[in-house]
Amino acid sequence: MDPLKPALKYDEQLARLKNEHALTITNDDAAYDILKKVNYYRLSGYGIGLTRNDDKEKYLENITIDHIYQLYEFDRNLRNIFFRVIEQLEIQLRTQISYHLALKYGPEGYIDNANFNDINRSGGISVHESVLNNFRKECIHQKNNAFVKHHVDRYENHFPIWVAVELFTFGNLSSLYCIMKPEDSKEIAKLYKTEPRYLGSWILALVELRNICAHYGRLYNRPLKQAPHLYREHKMYRSNDRNKLFPVLLVIKRMLNCDGEDERWLEFLEQLETLLKRYRSVVRLSYIGFPTQWQEVLRSPNK
């Protein structure tokens, strides 16, 4: 194992950026303030793709610390607007899934494995069992929460699905949808005018993006693990080697507009357009998978 690098004081960090990485810094005080606000390691992630071809340790001549900090600020704002819109979709999915399961199988039907097409994971535990285990752990973790305490005391630890779903992580909700019987998953997918295989992949993509946003991760120039299924007219925006942000944006557009023109989508789109205009001098659209005609694509009606 290689030895860990030693900790550096702020002035030593500045010296390394200047001397070892050839980053242009014209105002040491301003750069010092940036490093006090944003961890050196976190900031360096926004320099990916801005180094020289012949020496990846050195930045291109025109790259300044302010340039990198602006990318960080762009990404911070991008996460915020994505997180807000994903929250709306997540809550809607919780509502629709719990509503359907409650009416068809009863308040605690979600506990019965027979109501799902369960599958085993590599460790031997089934998806359904894993979801329930995580739910029970969350009940313990949130035992002092008023609505949890109420159901523990008054209903002897029995939680109807419309309450239990509020304690599911988005990932567990996605897993539950994955094992729903075909006739049930189709009913949920119909609400978004699609099929279960599409909706299932869309939810997985939203879960990944939501978790990145919730943990202040970098979205800019970051390959994503989940590649949502896209309809034929949008398949050209998927990359086989590096999944980027734009395909997930197409999913959000379709889900928000499932009932026609949706004000939530227009509001989100206007925020995105304003943000990209503000940081157009530093943002490379290809680094987030955006085509040159991205506005036309996002403003056109779904087919």
pLDDT digits (tens, 9 = 90+) for 160-217: 999 999 999 999 999 999 999 999 999 999 999 999 999 999 999 999 999 999 999 9
Cβ atoms < 10 Å from Cβ of 31: 22
Cα(130)–Cα(12) distance, integer angstroms: 47
Cα(294)–Cα(87) distance, integer angstroms: 23
Q: What's the predicted TM-score (pTM) here?
A: 0.94
Contact (CB, 8 A) for 136 and 111: no
Confidence bin at 237 (pLDDT 50/70/90): confident
Amino acid at 297: V
Cα(258)–Cα(127) distance, integer angstroms: 29
Residue-averaged pLDDT of the chain: 94
Q: What is the mean pLDDT of residues 237-243?
A: 71
- Above 90 in pLDDT, residue 119? no
Q: Please compute, for residue 84, the number of CA atoms within 13 A of its CA located in the half-sphere on the CB side.
A: 12
Q: What is the pLDDT of residue 240?
A: 62
Cβ atoms < 10 Å from Cβ of 296: 9
Q: What is the mean pLDDT of residues 139-153?
A: 93
- At 150, list the tokens: 């109420």
